Every structure is written in C-alpha cells, then in structure tokens.
Structure 1
Amino acid sequence: MTESPNYPNYPESAAAGQPAAAPARPSTVEYAFWAFIASTVIGLVGGLLIFGNRDAITDALRNSNTRNGGGLTETQIDQAVNIAMVTAVVIAVIIAALYLLFAFKLRAGRNWARIVLTVLTALSLLSLLVGQSTIVGYVGVLAAVAGVVLSFMTPSNAYFSAARPIR
C-alpha cells in the first residue's frame, strides 16, 4: 500500500479486495445432497416403469371407453396411451432436472434451494398419502424426507447461515 500525504494511513482489512472463503460443507449437507440425488434417480426409474404398465393403461382406457359409449377406435386408444406415456416420461425428466438443480444449489449453501426442496418433498409426501403409489414411490419420498431432515440439522443450519453473507 502506498502512502499519500493527503489521506490518513488506515490499515487494510484482511478481506479487502478478496472474496470471503466459503464455509466448510458439513457431512449433513453432503448426505442431504446425496439423498436428494437418490430420490431423483428413484423418481426417474418410477417414471420409466410406466412402460412396463402399457398393457394395463391400454386396458383401463379401453374399459373406460366401453363404459362411456365407445367413441374411440383401437388406433385412437393406442395413440392416447402413447401420448400419455411420453407425457409422463417428459414430466418425470423435467422434475428430475429441477430436483438436480435444487440439490446442487442446496449443496452450494443456498437456503432458498433447501426451502424449495422441503416444499417439493412435502407435496410428494401428500401425493403419496392421498393417491396410489408403488414401492418405488415410497422409497423415493423416504429418501427425500431424509434429505430434508439432514438439511435442517444443526451443522446444516450453521452452514447455510455462514454461506449467506458470501453472496
């Protein structure tokens, strides 16, 4: 630092011109991150399992069509099933991509991502309790609940608090 006769000589702070060091990530946040990754992978597997249920979906649509007057042809029923299956997979991929984004932001110390993942997990849990689900759905939600619990433990809270002033 050069001294100028016109300005008083103040010592520079240790952080002047340098970004603050990122706080150390605790294992609870790391485990929460991996729990959300596992939940995402399980959700994708569940989304892809719809292809194994093609016959059941076709039969259900065919039965519904018969009960409601039979306005659809076999070709239209097949097309409707194909559209439903592709739509389900696309939605599963979009949800998985968002979950991955939020999980990586959680790992980086973004509190908003922790809140979003908590809300999404609560909605998944409600959906599980209200509707029908498979064992894959239960395991996926269980992994997400574990991620939420881990992300709100004391070391995680300290990490998110310490990470806040860095931005």
Structure 2
Amino acid sequence: MYKSIVVGGVMAIVGLSVPTTVMAQFQVPLSSTVESAQASQPAVSPLELQQFVQVIKQFQKIEMQTQQQMAKAIGKEGLTPQRFVEINESQRNRNPQANVSPDELDKFKKAVLKVNEIMDSSETKRQRTVETQGLELKRFLEIESTISQNKALQARVQQMLGN
C-alpha cells in the first residue's frame, strides 16, 4: 500500500517533461492564525536567507536529475512513463480489468524498486545540501516555515532566485 502511494507521488514528481517548481510551496495565503504564529517565529538573518536560497537552487537541480533518473529507470524496465502510471493506478485501485499482464506487473515492480532507490538517494542529497550550506535541517525547516508565512520574504526569495 505504502509503495503504491509513493509511486503515485513519484509520478507526480516525474511529470515526464514538466519540471516541478520548488517555490510552489511558498504560495500559502496568510490568515490571522498564521500571522499570530509568525510573530513567535525567529527572524531570518540575511545570511540565513542567502543560505536558504542557495539550498533551494541546489534542490531544483537535484529535482531535475531525480526526474530524469526515474524516467530512465522506468524506461529501462521496458515501460513508458504513461504505462507506469496506468499500472500504478490499477494497483492502487485494485482494478482487475486494467489489462496488466504478469510481465508488465513484474516490470512495474522492478521499476518501483529502482524509483524508490532514486528517491532515497535524492533525499540524502537534499539533506547534504542543507548541511553544506551551513544550516541545520531543523533551522532550514524553520526558515522555510517563516518564509511561507511572510509575503515580503517570499518576494525576496523569488527575487534572489531570479524568478
């Protein structure tokens, strides 16, 4: 069950030709509850903001590489990304009428294992990237939370990213 959910998420990530935008997570509307929570969060120094932006830039590169690796792994198993998604949906919905041959199911399972390995490797790279920029993971997440709740910081990050 968990693998099916993960694979569904993977296919959203693979996008197969549409790179995902890391900054989409910053498009959270402010509410009175969020504004009051923002006041209790620590400030983000200019250095931390620069470190954060550098991490996001690296995350974008890692994401592109991950998408390419996953698409390649799926292809090496003899499946198209579209067919991979179809089989995934049939497995998640337990649809016996999906016309999935035993051979395709075997290829799908092998591809899922490879995709999971790629995702694990990508996560490790992201963690190392945060540390390499001189941030602890906990602080990085605090900064991310602060930015997601502050339109001025969101705009500043967008500007620093060149978006």
> TM-score range, shorter-chain basis?
0.3 to 0.5
Larger radius of gyration: 1
What is the TM-score when the length of structure 2 is the normalising length? 0.32
TM-score by length of 1: 0.32
